[in-house]
């Protein structure tokens, strides 16, 4: 079933000795074993061998409600499953175990290659491919000037890491790095977060509060998910970028600041400009 319907390459054995020999001959990604076969403990010997010859593999012990393999099998990836009512119940766990094993092997090979090449992390970012080297060079270039930076990329691609790297490589490295996620914030709330507010500016404002721009003075302010910033708020942000000054909510006092702004988004800003959801002058 696993071979015909799900594309797994399988070998079926009926004894522990045959299973051990099969593992030595061809390193597997997943080993599915009955907890005890003919009264013989199968889990521990399989775990010990996998630990030494196939450390990325997953051992699925079917019908095992006992303890996991002993500590000497320190690299083993182990899962215990109750006896399935039919073979179909094994498909999902085996598929997930195989995927995890392949990912572990790929990660191990990458780490070995990086160690062999003596690749040092760049501001916490690891990579030695030509594409990553180009990114590192662009980070260094951005760090050398004072321009506002926009980082585009999908969620989880390390936009904040790049923003921090630009800050750390710049002459502002010893100054504050402030972060604000613009997603889901109303215009009033985000204005208070960015510019601060005066006592009595709104209900609950019991004292003066410094905003992110004031806190980042001399350093860097990272505005994450700027594509989600309320449209009316974008004009106020543009004024700060152009004039380097702002007014806290509920105050008439103008504050001047020296802040380098780095923004990031996973949105298509050109499409948002067409839909009148993002200001074209702020984008450019």
Return the C-alpha torsion angle 192, 193, 199, 203, nearest 10. Answer: 60
pLDDT 10s digits, 218-228 = 999 999 999 99
pLDDT 10s digits, 5-39 = 556 777 888 888 888 888 888 888 888 887 665 55
Reported confidence tier of residue 2, pLDDT bands at 50, 70, 90: low
Q: What is the pLDDT of residue 159?
A: 93
Q: What is the pLDDT of residue 74?
A: 54
Q: What is the pLDDT of residue 247?
A: 93
For the chain, give the mean pLDDT.
Answer: 84
- Give, in order, the Cα–Cα distances in Å from 205 to each of 162, 213, 249: 35, 18, 10
Q: What is the pLDDT of residue 258?
A: 96
Q: What is the pLDDT of residue 218?
A: 96
* Domain-wise residue ranges, the chain: 2-116, 130-283
Q: Is the dihedral of CA 103, 106, 110, 116 positive or negative?
A: positive
Coil, helix or strand at residue 131: helix
Assigned CATH class of 130-283: alpha beta
Architecture label for domain 2-116:
3-Layer(aba) Sandwich (3.40)
pLDDT 10s digits, 65-102 = 555 555 454 556 777 776 766 767 778 888 888 888 88
Question: Hey, do 2-116 and 130-283 end up sharing a CATH topology, with the first three levels equal?
Answer: yes
Burial 6-38 (b: 16+ CB within 10 A, else e): eeeeeeeeeebeebbeebeeeebbbbbbbbeee
Q: What is the pLDDT of residue 37?
A: 56
146 vs 39, residue with greater confidence:
146
Average pLDDT over residues 182-199: 89
Task: Name the pTM for this structure.
Answer: 0.60
* Dist. CA 35–CA 56, nearest whole Å: 20
């Amino acid at each position: 079933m696993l071979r015909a319907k799900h594309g797994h390459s399988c070998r079926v054995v009926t004894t522990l000795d045959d299973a051990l020999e099969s593992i030595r001959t061809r390193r597997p990604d997943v080993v599915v074993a009955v907890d005890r076969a003919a009264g013989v403990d199968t889990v521990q010997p399989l775990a010990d061998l996998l630990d030494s010859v196939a450390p990325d593999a997953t051992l699925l012990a079917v019908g095992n409600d006992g303890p996991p393999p002993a500590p000497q099998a320190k690299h083993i990836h182990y899962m215990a499953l109750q006896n399935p009512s039919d073979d179909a119940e094994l498909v999902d766990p085996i598929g997930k175990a195989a995927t995890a094993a392949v990912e572990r092997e790929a990660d191990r090979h990458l780490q070995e290659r990086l160690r062999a090449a003596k690749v040092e992390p760049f501001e916490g970012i690891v990579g030695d491919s030509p594409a990553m080297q180009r990114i590192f060079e662009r980070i260094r270039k951005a760090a050398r000037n004072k321009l506002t930076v926009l980082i585009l990329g999908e969620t989880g691609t390390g936009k904040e890491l790049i923003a921090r790297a630009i800050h750390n490589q710049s002459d502002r490295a010893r100054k504050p790095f402030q972060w604000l996620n613009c997603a889901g914030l109303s215009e009033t709330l985000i204005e208070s977060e960015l510019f601060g507010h005066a006592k009595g500016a709104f209900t609950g404002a019991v004292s003066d509060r410094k905003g992110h721009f004031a806190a980042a003075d001399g350093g860097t302010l990272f505005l994450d998910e700027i594509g989600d910033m309320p449209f009316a708020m974008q004009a106020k942000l543009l004024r700060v970028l152009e004039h380097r000054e702002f007014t806290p909510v509920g105050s008439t006092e103008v504050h001047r600041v020296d802040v380098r702004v780095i923004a990031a988004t996973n949105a298509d800003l050109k499409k948002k400009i067409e839909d009148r959801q993002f200001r074209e002058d702020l984008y450019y």
